[in-house]
Amino acid sequence: MPTLRVEMFAGRTVEQKRALARELTEATVRALGVPAGSVEVLFYDVERSDWAVGGSLCSDPPAAPPQQA
């Protein structure tokens, strides 16, 4: 059975997750030819303070652009 793991920032509504689960399931059924009942979607809500990109936490304010002389 295909299991899809979705990691995203916390804050999405149940309705948004429901819609995404439906779309992902439909796409998986089309692409893999499996029954919808075999597709599992797991949501992992991650706080911005628990996710870093390029060495900076996503919860940190964006760096100011360099000043031009």
Q: How far is CA 64 from CA 31, 60, 68, 69, in A?
A: 43, 12, 12, 15
Catalytic residue among 2, 62, 65, 66: 2
Other C-beta atoms lying within 10 Å of the C-beta of residue 28: 19
Q: Is 2 a catalytic residue?
A: yes
Q: DSSP assignment, residue 29? A: H
Instruction: Give the active site residues.
Output: 2
